[in-house]
Amino acid sequence: MKEEIIQVRNLVKNFRVEDRNSSGLFSSVKQFFNPKFRDIVAVDDVTFNISRQEFVAFIGSNGAGKTTTLKCLSGLLHPNAGSIQVAGHSPWEMTHSYLRKISLLMGNRSQLWWELPAVETFLLNKEIYQIEDNTYRDTVEDMVDMLGIQKEILVPVRKLSLGERMKCELVASLIHTPEILFLDEPTIGLDVLAQQKVRDFLKEYNKKYKATIILTSHNMEDVQDLCKRSIVIEKGKIIYDGKISELKQKFVKEKYVKFVLSKNAMRDDLEKLGRVVEFDGITGILEVPKERSTFVTKAILSNYEVEDIDIEEVTLESVVKNIFDGKYKV
């Protein structure tokens, strides 16, 4: 059994915000002299463990609490209640030994100097983390080779594409070879090729350095390609923690039968077989219970002249969207 490197128990994080329920000049003046506040619960009694070298997806809609949890784990936020142990440390104490073990990379934030080549940021981080010359040289060469950015690290950051900048951000964030990575939307805004390059690099880093990685992403390609386990959070609470392969089994009760007919058919007849998602008289999609998908397919083949027909599973992206939209009960 692998060592549990991250332990979270009954984590709670609230944010106090100004309560502005009314508008108008009088209300604004009253609020100024006698302000009222309310607490928003961002993370509500969250508990989980993560083992060494796991690659875990932390999935949630905007405002669900995933980024807040990540910031608590990295030490940027202090929780209101509960306990966190990351590699034997309490994150918010921000000890030097703890900071050497972790890295937080946020896809919409940059640590690179805009007017200077990325290699200058690498050198700065070398001094911050007190990395020996030989170790620094070997690490940079290794990561730069994996990402294929030998020339890009010598170019002023402002001249790089978004994908090239993200690759440089990865090297800057991992130059001290942390054993725990917190990644928040690392492929946001990148084209398909750049996304795949980043994912390939993260797989290799996870394997080579035996790193533990927590990933938050709205990109389900990231989740499916990189992670075997997912933690789904909604309204500050964990609603699923398990294998990604079993996420569909837990929530999905339907399949889709897609077909193309040779002749026009009546919509009313098709509605007897399942929920009509789309239908223009020839081409259609039916949503049916999983256990009836074969029966419905045979019924369409028996009663209509069919040019093409197929049964499709619900995609992981649709599953997650339906969970957050309230279509699937949790």
Cβ–Cβ under 8 Å, residues 102 and 90: no
Nearest to 152 by CA among 110, 117, 108: 117
CATH 3.30.70.980 domain extents, the chain? 253-313
What does the pLDDT read at residue 179? 95
What does the pLDDT read at residue 241? 94
Pair type for strands 55-59 and 229-234: parallel
Nearest to 112 by CA among 121, 123, 124: 121
CATH class of 4-249: alpha beta
pTM, 2 dp: 0.82
What does the pLDDT read at residue 170? 94
What is the pLDDT tens value at each position of the chain, 330 positions in all?
A: 678 999 999 999 998 877 766 566 666 666 666 777 788 899 999 999 999 999 999 998 888 888 899 999 999 999 999 999 999 999 998 898 999 999 999 877 888 999 999 999 999 999 999 999 999 999 999 999 999 999 999 999 999 998 899 999 999 999 999 999 999 888 888 889 889 999 999 999 999 999 999 999 888 899 999 999 999 998 899 999 999 888 888 888 889 999 999 999 989 989 999 999 999 999 999 999 999 999 999 999 999 999 999 999 888 888 888 787 777 776
Distance CA 91, CA 76 (A): 8
Specify which residues 124 forms β-bridges with. Answer: none
Ramachandran angles phi, psi of 307, nearest 5°? -90, -35
Task: Give me the helices (H) in the chain, please.
Answer: 25-33, 66-74, 96-101, 118-128, 133-147, 162-174, 192-208, 220-226, 244-251, 267-271, 293-303, 316-325
What does the pLDDT read at residue 297? 95
Number of neighbouring beta carbons within 10 Å of residue 312 = 11
What does the pLDDT read at residue 1? 62
With H, G, I as helix, E, B as strand and everything else as coil, classify residue 42: strand
What does the pLDDT read at residue 188? 85
Distance CA 227, CA 294 (A): 31
Specify which residues 44 forms β-bridges with. Answer: 12
CATH class of 253-313: alpha beta
CATH 3.40.50.300 domain extents, the chain? 4-249
The secondary structure of 103-160 as a DSSP string is EEEETT---S-TTSBHHHHHHHHHHHTT--HHHHHHHHHHHHHHHT-TTGGGSBGGGS
